[in-house]
Every structure is written in structure tokens, then in C-alpha cells.
Structure 1
Amino acid sequence: MITDTIHGHMKDIQSTKIKSLISKATIIEPTDTLSHVINKITKNNSYDVFYIKDKKILSTNIRALLDAKNINTMKVESFLYPIPHVTQNDSVQKVANIITHYRIREVPVVDKNKIIGVVTAQRIIKLLSSIDNKWIKASLIYTQNPITVPSDETISNARRIMTTKRIDHLPVLNQDKIKQVITSYHILQSIIPSEKQGRKSMGSNTTHALEFKIGNIGSTRIPQCSANDDLNKIINSMLKADTTCCLVNLQGTLQGIITFRDILGLLASKLETPIPLYIVGMPDDQQNVNLISSKFSKTLKRLQQVYTEIHEARVSIKQQRSGNKKEGKYEVTIMIITPHHTPLIYNSVGFDLSEVLEDLSEKLLRNLSKRAKHRSKNSIRKIGLPIF
């Protein structure tokens, strides 16, 4: 089973201590205006920003700031939300879990109630490039059929897609060809008026800028690959171009996209269950880890009784956060791998993780039991026995 092989291959990377991977963090104050925060992001070439309050880390990022109405007068405080942190002795896998679970790119490192830096997705990607991954192909990790936008679409609509779908990359179509990729960073930059426009006109010019067409906005230096290209080649091309994505093409047609988050999915946690279960975006609290393990252990055990051909299951868990709130919707997707069919994918969304897992388990049991029953009837037909 390929996932089990990858998991064994990545063990040394997963257990690596993060002490040598720490970079400078972008620190802000809740009273900072959004324009001040955006300037810091631009200057430091960062994606996430942080503030520590009463041993709690608050954060926001570029995608969250796209919802801002007036970046000159609004304070960043209303965009901040709690986020987990790590210590210097924590592992790469813990950082990867937080990045994929919360859909961020930087995880703060705290020592003695002080943020001493961050571990970025890019640093982990660089670490992955140090081992031989030539047998891991793009086809194993890329996101199929990515959302695209035409070049004559407005920046406002691109922003809406990014904020609602919680993505940072949109390939841009021009005469049925992908010419560039527009990112959340490009959109954020496009709504900042030039110095000549003056600060008083900030609000109106931001609204006006969003109605412009995408046109040539975006990056044309996005690396491209085929589904058969290996992981080392993909990572090296992304690092060389200093981009956070790679496009997967087949004879000039867009097949998919690979982002840092897709690559970090290779560092999935493994739970001991009747059927091998891998978690991408493992929650940081043990209570939810126990809940996931218990729920899916029982579900997979029941499934195995009626559908013995299941090789493994992969679960992706992401949590939406907005504003200064702890609660947020959980997006949970499970992929069932079988030897003779395309992967079976089921998903569910909700505020209560327990209810989401219950809903997902019911979908799995109901649909796979139907498949097993149908297969059983077909087998009975072949040997001429009656079907009741």
C-alpha cells in the first residue's frame, strides 16, 4: 500500500525537531490598522501575523484580510483568532498538522511566554527536498480540477472565491489557456492605493479597484509539471521560482494544482485501526484525537465485515476560524482506498466535530454496505442461486 510506504519513508522527517527550522515571526499589535499590518506583511514577505496575549496566541493572515472594507481605519483586532503554538522541541509532524488543520503557512514558536519565531511550510518543504522522493509522483498528491477564473473576471469575484472556498491560488484563463495564477497576496496588493492617491481616498479607491478586471494581475512564473513528474523535481521548481504552487498539465490542459499544503499531506499521522487510517490535519488537542480514533476505529471495523477489500482510509480535517472566536466549522473528508476502483470520497461539514464524524460514519456505512450487498447479489447470480 503506497500510503504506508510513504509514511515509513517520511518517519525521520516527521520526528525532526523544529529548533533548526525557526524563522523570524511578524509580530503585530491589536490596535494596528490593517494598512499597517499589510505593510508589515509585504516588508517581511510573510503570510501570517501574530500577537501574544495572556499566554494565548492570536493570529490572522492574508486570506482573512481580504474581507476588509477600509484598510486605513479598521483595526486588525477584529480579524484575530486563537491559534496553537509549538516549542523548540516539538516535531515537524506537529507543525505540519497545525498548518493543514488551520489552513495557514506559519506556526508560531513560543518560549517563556514569548514568540521567538515561526516554522513555515516552505522550510518544511525544503527539508523534504533533502531526501530521495523521486518515486513519489505528482499524481499521488495533486488537487484535481482546481477552480479557475477568466482574465476578464473582476478582482472582486476572485476575492469572493478565495474567501468562500478558503483557497489562495486561482489559475487565470485567457483564451482557454492558463496564462498566470492570481493569489490572495496579489489581490491584497491590488486594493492598496498608491501613495499619490492619499490616505483619505482609501475606502472609495479600494471599492473601485475591486471592480477592475483581473487582466494580467498575477504571476506568470508558476512552475508546471506532468502527473508523472517526481516530488523532488516539483519541490525544486517551486523553490527556484519562489512560488507556493505548481500546475499539473497534460498536453497543455490543466489537470490539477499542487500547493505546499498538498505536499505537507504526505506527513499524515497514522492511527492504529483495523484498516490503516491516516489523518491529514490532526487536531492539536488530545480529546479530539481520541474522538477521531474511537469513531473511525469502530466504523472501519464494521465496514471490514461487509467490505473486506478496503486497503486504507485517509481523513482530512480542516477548521475554519473567523474573528476572535474559538468556534469554527470543521471540514472533514474521508477517502477510502480499494484495489480495483477509484477512491471513494465522502465529506461532511459542521460546528460540532462529534456530529460531523457521526454523519460521515453513517454515510460510509450506508453507502459501502449498499456496494457490498450489490456485489454479493451479482456473485449469487453468477452461480445461479436465488436472490432474496
Structure 2
Amino acid sequence: MISQEVSRQLYSHLKDVRGQVIEDLMEKATLVKEDIHVSKIIGIMLKDNSHEVFVQHPDKTIICLNMRDTLVARDINTMKASTIGKRIPSLTSKESIGNAARIMSLHRLRALPIVDGKNHEVIGQLSSKRILQYIFETFVKKKINFDKRIIASDLMTPELVTIGPEDKVATARNIMVKDMIDHLPIVEQTKDGKNMVIGILTSSDILKTLMPSDRIARDALISDHEQHRLELAARGLADKNLITISPNETINSVIDLMLKSNSTYALVKSMDSVLGIITFRDVIALLGEQVESEIPAYIIGLPEDPFEAELVKSKFTNTIKLLYKIFPEIVEARCKIKIKDVTGERKRYEISANIISPYRRYTYTSKNEYDIARIFDEMSDSFKNQISRKKSSDKQRESVRFSPKE
């Protein structure tokens, strides 16, 4: 069971990681020209295994295209990078991992461009995978091992978004674009009524269906003449070699598994039941900024605008303090912020939060809103209602941890 003490210990151990400058972690960036067609970008992404590519304009501004962005292209042979790319912040080599993690979370990216501090030319990138490697290296070097005090079920995202085996690839694409996710487990109902995960679709898998026929997985068994690629059943393109981990495995084991298997996810599985999913973002979220000392409370993805950042800190801190008064069993609170879309100067955010107690996890995810203050007011009301229902319930407390049946 995670405790306030363990939460504070983890934050302390990650202090050096957050403060580490990114210069020594720099990798080669994938740069493309702004007039290149999306079809060629997809080919580059698949060839280089790059989730993001960058375009640098003559005025030194940088736009980014990730795999989800390319999925919205109506005609990959005519649309160009400049029409679907989004302008993003860049880093210099002297900035910290903590700041990079904040920007990655806010913009839902796995990599950020690094520019020269003088001429502002792109000289490399920092990826979330490289940050995971550095976290793991730090734990090994300092012999940090939390044993069973921080485990997979503490890190996972429990609310899985799934599709059925006969759902079309087009449906999977639409879900990924709408929900800004890259992993969709495929769930099939067995004869005894249980739901079983039989495979997983990633944004990379869907990109492969948009390429010429010889790029399609052999097990799809379908040609252009028979059916449009996006009409394929999800079952035919699913990766059936799932990367799974027990809910009671340590944080060290989770990171080690993802790195050794070269996977961007790990499904948290018990017997035939999948309890949640862990992605790079879930681990990166551990680098969030602490905003409250009395209760371990952290935020990852603070907005760039100073006013909005302070508003988020203030509202989240006040929410947690209020909840702690009526529910002193809270041991940790975490908030994630991401940009859903941008209209002119206005940004629409999705804000999610987890409140952890010794017995269960309370969750909240905002609706599409521009008003940050309103989001946190709704968050406060939601948590108060959840806690109130829990207190009035006569049911046995449900542990946030997995307890194997004897």
C-alpha cells in the first residue's frame, strides 16, 4: 500500500532526475520539410520508428506531427505536413528533464526538439523513452528499490478504452484521434461472459494500413480490390503478443520490462483479467511538480502561461486541502493536464486527477472545457460526491491494490 512517506521518498529520489540537464540525453531528431506529403511522412515514421517528426520553418518556429496527427489526413498523397502539424515549444540543451516532462505531458508528445541556444536550429531531440532509461539508470546506480511499496497497480491507468475484435480499423482510428491515445486493447467476450483481451492495436499499426499493400500485416489477408484498408476488422491487424505484467510487480520491474521488450506499454494483468495499462506517460507523470507539502500532491503538464499555471496550482491545492479535511485518509493526489485543441489564442484542456487512499482510488476527468477554474470546481464536487457515496455505503472497502484470491 502506497503511503505518504513512500510518496515523499519517491519524489525525493527523483529530484536529481528532474533537475538533470538534457544535454547528455540528446538523440537524433527526425526532421522533414514542410511541403512533404503525409504519405512520405508515414513512411519515414515507420522506417525510423519515430512517433514524432519535426518541421522547422525559416523563422525558426517548429511544428510537430505525431502518429495520431497523420491519422486525420483525408488524403495522405496530397496533404502536406504544414496542414496538419501543430506548433510546439522547443528545448535547449541546458534545460531540465523536469521541464521537458511537463511539456511532454501537456502536449501529449513522446519527444521534443532541442535547439541550439544561439541560432535556434534543431540539433536533436529528447524522448520519453530516454527519460525512462535515465530513471531506471538512476534507480540502479543509487540502488533504489521500493520493493512492494510502489507497484504496477499504483502506476497504471485503470480506465481502459477498448474495442471489439470485429470493430473496424476506422473505428479504432477515430477513437485514437478523439481521445488522444495510441493504444487500444481488443476485448472479446468469452462463452462464459468474461471479457478477455486478445490483442492490442497501436497508432503505428493503423499507419501501416495506410501504406501500399505490401506494408499490411500478412495476417490481415485482404487486398485493396476486396475492401478498403480502414474497413478491416481490428482482429486482423492486432498484435497478439501482449506485453503484460502482474499488478504486484515493482516500479523497477515495470520500467525494465518496457525497455527490454522495446514496448511503449505494459498491460497490468491478473489471471485473464486486464486491470489497466501503463505507458511512458504514466511513468513520466512521476516527475510532476509538488504543489502541496502537507499531503503529497503533484501536477504534471502545467500550462506555459504563468497565470494559468498559478491558477492550476492554487485550485488543485485548495481542492486537496478541502478534501483532506473531510477525508483525512488521503495519502496522495496527482493531476495531469493536456491540451485538447487550440482555437486562436485559446486552449482547451483536459484535466484528470487521482486521489489515493489506503483502500481505493478516486478518479476525475474533465469534459472539454476552456475555463480552468470551472474544471477544478467540478473536480472538487465530483470528489466530494465520490467520497460521500463511499462513506454512506455499507459495502466492504474496495482496495486500490490487487489482492490475489486464495
TM-score class normalised by the smaller sequence: 0.7 to 0.9
Identical aligned residues as a percent: 33
Deviation digits for residues 1-52 of structure 1, max 9, x if unmatched?
1322221121111111111111111112222111121122122211111123
1:21 is aligned, of 18, 22, 25, to 25
For 1:346-365, list aligned pairs within 5 A. Answer: 346-349=364-367, 350-364=369-383
Kindly indicate whether the alpha-carbon contact (under 8 Å) linking 2:266 and 2:279 is maintained by their aligned counterparts in 1: yes
For 1:1-388, list aligned pairs within 5 A. Answer: 1=4, 2-53=6-57, 54-111=59-116, 112-130=119-137, 131=139, 132-135=144-147, 136-173=150-187, 176=190, 177-194=196-213, 208-272=228-292, 275-321=295-341, 327-339=346-358, 341-349=359-367, 350-364=369-383, 367=385
What is the SS of the residue equivalent to 1:84? coil
What is the CA-CA distance between 1:174 and the residue it aligns to?
5.2
Q: TM-score, normalised by structure 2?
A: 0.81
What is the CA–CA distance in structure 2 between the aligned matches of 1:139 and 1:270, rounded to whole Å?
21
2:402 equivalent in structure 1: none
Distance 1:230 1:174, change over 3 A: same
Kindly indicate whether the alpha-carbon contact (under 8 Å) linking 2:115 and 2:123 is maintained by their aligned counterparts in 1: yes
Stretches of structure 1 lacking an aligned partner (at least 5 in a row): 197-203, 376-388
Kindly indicate whether the alpha-carbon contact (under 8 Å) linking 2:199 and 2:235 is maintained by their aligned counterparts in 1: no
Kindly indicate whether the alpha-carbon contact (under 8 Å) linking 1:142 and 1:257 is maintained by their aligned counterparts in 2: yes
Kindly indicate whether the alpha-carbon contact (under 8 Å) linking 2:352 and 2:365 is maintained by their aligned counterparts in 1: yes
What is the CA-CA distance between 1:312 and the residue it aligns to?
3.6
Kindly indicate whether the alpha-carbon contact (under 8 Å) linking 1:225 and 1:249 is maintained by their aligned counterparts in 2: yes
Deviation digits for residues 303-336 of structure 1, max 9, x if unmatched?
45544444442211111136x8554421112323
What is the CA-CA distance between 1:164 and the residue it aligns to?
1.6
Distance 1:374 1:169, change over 3 A: closer
What is the CA-CA distance between 1:301 and the residue it aligns to?
4.0
Distance 1:372 1:105, change over 3 A: closer
The one-letter code matched in structure 1 to 2:205 is: H
What is the CA–CA distance in structure 2 between the aligned matches of 1:166 and 1:8, rounded to whole Å?
31
Deviation digits for residues 63-87 of structure 1, max 9, x if unmatched?
1111111100111222111212211
Kindly indicate whether the alpha-carbon contact (under 8 Å) linking 2:324 and 2:330 is maintained by their aligned counterparts in 1: yes
Distance 1:297 1:206, change over 3 A: farther
Stretches of structure 2 lacking an aligned partner (at least 5 in a row): 191-195, 216-223, 394-406
Say what the alpha-carbon RMSD is for the aligned residues: 2.9
Q: TM-score, normalised by structure 1?
A: 0.85
Q: Which deviates further from its counterpart, 170-179 or 253-262? A: 170-179
2:401 equivalent in structure 1: none
1:386 equivalent in structure 2: none
Q: Which deviates further from its counterpart, 14-23 or 228-237? A: 228-237
* Matched residue count: 366
What is the CA–CA distance in structure 1 between the aligned matches of 2:372 and 2:56, rounded to whole Å?
27
Kindly indicate whether the alpha-carbon contact (under 8 Å) linking 1:133 and 1:232 is maintained by their aligned counterparts in 2: yes
What is the CA–CA distance in structure 2 between the aligned matches of 1:180 and 1:302, rounded to whole Å?
42
What is the CA–CA distance in structure 2 between the aligned matches of 1:144 and 1:300, rounded to whole Å?
21
Kindly indicate whether the alpha-carbon contact (under 8 Å) linking 2:264 and 2:279 is maintained by their aligned counterparts in 1: yes
What is the CA–CA distance in structure 1 between the aligned matches of 2:325 and 2:97, rounded to whole Å?
36
Kindly indicate whether the alpha-carbon contact (under 8 Å) linking 1:82 and 1:326 is maintained by their aligned counterparts in 2: no
What is the CA–CA distance in structure 2 between the aligned matches of 1:209 and 1:189, rounded to whole Å?
10
Distance 1:274 1:83, change over 3 A: same
What is the CA-CA distance between 1:273 and the residue it aligns to?
5.6
Greater Rg over alpha carbons, structure: 1
What is the CA–CA distance in structure 1 between the aligned matches of 2:242 and 2:169, rounded to whole Å?
20
Q: Which deviates further from its counterpart, 169-178 or 344-353? A: 169-178
Distance 1:242 1:298, change over 3 A: closer
Distance 1:373 1:86, change over 3 A: same
What is the CA–CA distance in structure 1 between the aligned matches of 2:199 and 2:307, rounded to whole Å?
43
What is the SS of the residue equivalent to 2:65? strand
Distance 1:306 1:146, change over 3 A: closer
Distance 1:194 1:238, change over 3 A: same
Distance 1:151 1:373, change over 3 A: closer
